[in-house]
Structure 1
Amino acid sequence: MSARVASSPAVMVNATRFRAAHEAEWSRLDALVTRIEKRSIGALTDDDLLALPLLYRATLSSLSVARDTSLDRGLIAYLEQLSTRAYFQIYGVPTSARRQLATFFRSGWPEAVQSIWRETLVCVALTVAAAIVAYLLVRSDPSWFFGIIPEALSSGRDPTATAGFLRSTLYDRQHDMLAFFATYLFTHNSQIAIFAFALGFAFAVPTVLLIIYNGLMLGAMVAVFAGKGLGANFAAWLMIHGTTEMFAICLAGAAGMRIGTAIAFPGRDTRSDALVRVGRPAAIAMAGTVLMLAIAGLLEGIGRQTVLGDGNRILIGSVMLVGWLAYFYLPRRGSTWR
């Protein structure tokens, strides 16, 4: 008992001496880090820049001693927080939100899309093949349409509709519904894209099925309008927003397929390592599709309802497609396709 009592003053003296010997270093590091956080690294002088890593290492050493000798928790917590702040300022790359956003659009998003170009081609091929199959099925037997597209989704645009009604859905103005329609379409299409991406974790099988079903719906609708002599008109109606929308859904499906195939066939990596390796670019590509779907929603809900000429619709859709292809796939300095 006496030994314990006698040892307590010694520990307190050591802690006091320890704090007194190093507190000046901690305070200076704290002041330098605070200056960088409030302003920038340019606010430091040359002497400060040289002292910053030395002070950081000294603080880490003090933290190690404080933990080993069980000094008071308040001091340990302070040193841990100070060391963490200093680490991010020295080894991190602090950038503004504006710079991060610029980097995303300048290189991050296009490079992520380029990294999944094989999967994107597969999704496009599946969509086109499924659309052709559905078109042929519905043209040969219109009852196939009701097995592909639910009645609530077709909104009367089915094989029983008259040519006049179908034409009205392509050209009638609905100004009072524009904002609501655009919001609905953005939400609906975003859900399809998110499901196509998220379901990729199940070895990409549900993603493939969803992409195929999306193509079947497209082909079935084309067959209905083509059967009434409105195939070219429907194509123009679809192009103004469809080039952006279908491209976005294919990209989302491609990102999901990349993740699913990495899980199913990790190669020499473990499945978790393979997922980490492909997860970041796939997630970046998926994040960008949300913007594409927002643009598609605006084109469909507003542009398509106000631009009624088939030629102008085809022109807008073609320009959007060429623009996306150029943005994603034109060579950039330092970029490499994998």
Structure 2
Amino acid sequence: MTDATNGTTDMRSVRFRKEREAGWTRLEALVMKVERSGMTSLNFAEARDLASFYRQTVNSLSVAREISLDRALLAYLENLAARAYLVIYAPQARLTSVVARLFTQGIPQAVRRSGGVLLIGFGLMFMGALLGYFLYQQDSSWFYTFVPGELAATRTPAASPAMLERTLYGQDDTLMNSLASFASTLFSHNTQVAILVFSLGVFCTAPSFLLTFYNGTMLGAFFALFADKGLGYDAFAWLSIHGVTEISAICIACAGGVQLGLAVLMPGQMTRKDALRIRGRDATKLLILAAVMLLAAAILEGFFRQLVQSAELRLLIGWGIGGLWVAWLALAGRTPAEHSG
């Protein structure tokens, strides 16, 4: 009895396959073509056939399940239907289009949604800089508290104005090598700070706050050193050419960390897991932006800052590039709702 039943099932499977196999074969060929070359490789007739044979295959699969055909045929149809579904309905974006969409829409929109945490990041840096500046004015020994020795090098309160001016405009090879080493050290330091202020933000935001604030005090003390020697304008221009981009990157990384911290501290009606997942999307985009800005700052720091010897031109380049960052982030990828607003 069992053998007879199996024989009947096999015959039904053979007949069922024979009646419909041409359509499955055609669908499989179209799916393979899309998997290999993308949906744009199909002409109109092929795209129409893809949709038509996909529907037929899904119907065949439904019927095959109802009449209990052999498992091998069911597995084949399930696999074919799943592959066809993916090529028809899944996003067909290439890596280049995904990256382009990230920079033309994703990152600018994430920045505009993160106004509050960005204000916190920039505010902490600014307040730290003010504290570092005024404490140095009260007592220059605070410089050694805020500025690490490897960053300060010969730039200390004991240095003469002439020596400090040479570090801003010097052209001799020894000094240029020293400046290149300083630039490399400063970039490495700021990159580490950016990574830390982002990654530590999940721990209730406090570490991100402290690191950003401390980096501000270091900046303020460093500027106060030059201002105290009558070189404030020159130092401001020297820092601007790369600092507008680099310091902004640290503040943006801090904002990303704060996003994560707020998801832990104030998840609202969501679970902390869901809040981290949702806020983490914008936080990750802010980190990518900070990384891109640090890379741009490295180029400015490694080349333009020492090649450009005019304070005015340094200011123009630094703040001009800062204006381009603002224009991109403020205007790119605006939605209809943003335009109407």
TM-score (norm 2): 0.84
Matches within 5 A, 1:123-202: 123-173=121-171, 186-202=187-203
The residue aligned with 2:110 is: 112
SS at structure 2 position matched to 1:158: coil
Matched position secondary structure for 1:25: helix
- Equivalent residues in 2 for 1:206-221 (5 A)? 206-221=207-222
Q: Are the equivalent residues in 2 in contact too, given 1:186–1:294 (CA < 8 A)? A: no
Using the alignment, how far apart are the partners of 2:258 and 2:25 within structure 1? 52
Q: Tell whether the 8 Å contact from 2:133 to 2:223 is kept in structure 1 after alignment.
A: yes
1:179 touches 1:302 (CA, 8 Å); kept in 2?
no
One-letter code aligned to 1:280? R
1:15/1:71 contact within 8 Å kept: no
Alignment partner, residue 279 of structure 2: 278
Deviates more, 1:293-302 or 1:156-165: 156-165
CA distance in 2, matches of 1:195, 1:17: 66
In 2, are the aligned partners of 1:185 and 1:297 still within 8 Å (CA)?
Answer: no
Shift of the 164–39 alpha-carbon distance from structure 1 to 2, 3 Å rule, reads: same
Range with greater deviation from structure 2 (122-131 or 44-53): 44-53
Equivalent-residue separation in structure 2 for 1:34 and 1:263 (angstroms): 45
The 5 Å alignment of 1:1-338 reads: 9=7, 12-13=10-11, 15-17=13-15, 19-60=17-58, 71-72=71-72, 76=75, 79=77, 81-173=79-171, 186-330=187-331, 333-334=334-335
Task: Quote how far apart the aligned CAs of 1:180 are.
Answer: 7.1
TM-score, structure 1 normalization = 0.85
| Matched-pair contact (CA < 8 Å) for 1:196–1:253 | yes
Distance apart, 1:166 and its partner CA: 2.0
Which residues of structure 1 form unaligned runs of 5+?
Answer: none
Give the aligned residue type for 1:267. G
| Residue-by-residue CA offset, 1:2-26 (whole Å, 9 max, x unaligned) | x766665556555545544543333
Per-residue CA deviations over 1:69-116 (Å, capped at 9, x if unaligned) read 7724x973x555544432332112313333333323322221111111
Aligned residues: 334
Deviations 1:29-77 (A, max 9, x none): 22122233444434434444344334334445666757987724x973x
Could you list the runs of 5+ residues in structure 2 that have no partner in the other structure?
Answer: none
Letter in 2 for 1:137: L
RMSD value, Cα = 3.1
Identity %: 39
User: Per-residue deviation at 1:267?
Assistant: 1.0
